[in-house]
Structure 1
Amino acid sequence: MTPTDRAAATAARPAAGLLQILWLASPTLPVGGFSYSEGLEAAVDVGAVIDESTAANWLADQLHLGLARSDLAVVAQAIPAWQASDLTRIRQLNTWVLNTRESQEFRLQTEQMGRSLLEWARSLSALDASVGGVFEQLQSAQLAPPTYPVAMACAAACAHTTVRDSLIGYAFGWAENMVQAAIKSVPLGQSAGQRILARLVQEIPVAVDHAITLTDDTRQAFTPMLAILSARHETQYSRLFRS
């Protein structure tokens, strides 16, 4: 390989990794994230979220108190485990996610989205080598079922980008889905949704940096009000989002 070829290959790898993370964060990824409100619709129903300001505060709190301390921390720990083929650690993290979902709705969501990511990787495995690696690793782990954070960590590990960039992509994908849920359920206009997303974009790096510092002893899933609202949403009379 000539020096020019080596330089081109070095430049291509980061670009490919970034594109993979953007792909995984895209709302068009067919895992069904858009169909869940994660308690937000129930919060609207009881009057806890009524406008742009309360929706922005709600989602910022959910980012820092829920996502950062649980899912983002799991993804941060699962990426190096996938890269080291440490299946014992992967299964441990997957079990932790299943055991700490605080409502039936939350558990069904992580199971469904994890399975959908596996099916996405299966359908594209012959077309994209990186996606094929995701499918092979998820299959070899024999997770029953793969949870969404652990499955996404596998996809991020195959993208060969940094853990921090992977977490930022994961958090941004969550933020886009939740802002869309707020637009539909409050309801809000598109401009209000963009202002909320702008706030979350500012706060995501802080949440990601906190998640990276967490360990098994400090990682936690404890959002009692969100759990109560999720449980109420399971039997809510009228709803737009999946339960």
Structure 2
Amino acid sequence: MNEAARLLRALQFGDSVFPVGGFAFSAGLETAIAERVVTDVESLSAYTRTALEQATRGDSVGLIWAHRAALAEDLTQLGQIDAQVYARKLSGETRTMSVRMGKKFTELSAEILEAPLLQSWREQIANGATPGCYPVALGINFAVQGLSARDAFAVHHYGVAAMILSAALRLMRIDHVETQQRLFALCTGTDADYEAAAVMPLSDMAGFAPVTEILAAAHVKARVRLFMS
């Protein structure tokens, strides 16, 4: 695959309009705004940076390990990794987000790429043998295409930030220029974040952010909700 094709493949499967339902989630931002944890552009940036740090130590570690297992075509290990990613989702909404996006991403990937490993993974999800979390699906997709774990990490990192900032446009007084400025700044340290995640053992995968978890729990009982998380 030449460099242009490699870039285009990463862009396609990392695009925010790739139809896996990410637009329906705010990653806890809706409740953060309602509870006045996020009140302005600066606190929005801080909230998004926390989400990226959480992803670096959590989902992204699972993604990298899933990419390695997919390169080895080790379906058993992929199932073990998926179970560990799922187990670290403390709130029901977070689990729902990950498995809904992961299932849809796997189904679409299998139809587009027609790779045997993706077909097998789709069957594992369909028969209930594995939850099918999004980071694992993304890792498998990039591995079967010959795209690197770093590429997959960058796409995932960008997606976390873009999801929150896109939701902010619908939830608070902020314009497209401000969100793009923040997105640009937040993604500057992605290489360093990847290097940190890439050396972590799977057993160290964690996304400890108690305020975020409390906000997620509060969102479940919210009387008015625009987003699913």
Q: TM-score, normalised by structure 2?
A: 0.91
Share of identical aligned residues, percent? 27
**Cα shift readout 1:67-114 (whole Å, capped 9, x = no counterpart):** 000111111111010110112211111001111101010011111111
Larger Rg over CA atoms: 1
Is 1:139 the counterpart of 2:122? The answer is yes
SS of 1:118's equivalent in the other structure is helix
TM-superposed CA distance for 1:28, in Å, is 1.2
Q: Are the equivalent residues in 1 in contact too, given 2:91–2:216 (CA < 8 A)?
A: yes
Give the equivalent residue in structure 2 for 1:240. 226
Per-residue CA deviations over 1:145-202 (Å, capped at 9, x if unaligned) read 3111111111111221221122112211222222101222123111111111111121
1:27-38 matches, cutoff 5 A: 27-38=16-27
The residue number in structure 1 matching 2:5 is 16
Please, which moves more after superposition, 72-81 or 135-144?
A: 135-144
Deviates more, 1:162-171 or 1:72-81: 162-171
Paired with 2:59 and 2:145, the residues of 1 have a C-alpha distance of: 19
Measure how far apart 1:13 and its partner are: 3.7
Where does structure 1 differ by over 2 angstroms across 4 or more consecutive aligned residues?
A: 12-18, 139-145, 203-206
Measured in 2, the distance between the counterparts of 1:119 and 1:234 equals 28
Residue 42 of structure 1: aligned partner: 31
Which residue of structure 2 lines up, in the alignment, with residue 182 of structure 1? 168
Within 5 Å, which residues of 2 pair with 1:57-96?
57-64=46-53, 66-96=54-84
Q: Which runs of 5+ in 1 are unaligned?
A: 1-11
**C-alpha separation between the residues in 2 aligned to 1:19 and 1:38?**
27
Amino acid at match of 2:24: S
Q: Which ranges in structure 2 are unaligned for 5 or more consecutive residues?
A: none
Q: CA, structure 1 residues 187+240, in 2 after alignment: closer, same or farther (shift >3 Å)?
A: farther
| Preserved contact between residue 21 and residue 159 of structure 1 (Cα < 8 Å) | no
Aligned equivalent of 2:150, options 164, 173, 178:
164
1:14 and 1:141 map into 2 onto residues whose CA distance is: 33
Q: For residues 90 and 119 of structure 1, what CA distance do their matches in structure 2 show? A: 16
Q: Secondary structure at the match of 1:68?
A: helix
Q: For 1:117 and 1:53, how far apart are their aligned partners in 2? A: 32
Q: CA deviation at 1:221?
A: 2.6
Whether the aligned pair in 2 keeps the contact of 1:24 and 1:170 (CA below 8 Å) is: no
Match of 1:199 in 2: 185
Task: Give the aligned length.
Answer: 225
Q: 2:43 matched to which residue of 1?
A: 54
CA distance in 2, matches of 1:187, 1:89: 45
Assess if the C-alpha contact under 8 Å between 2:82 and 2:133 holds in 1: yes
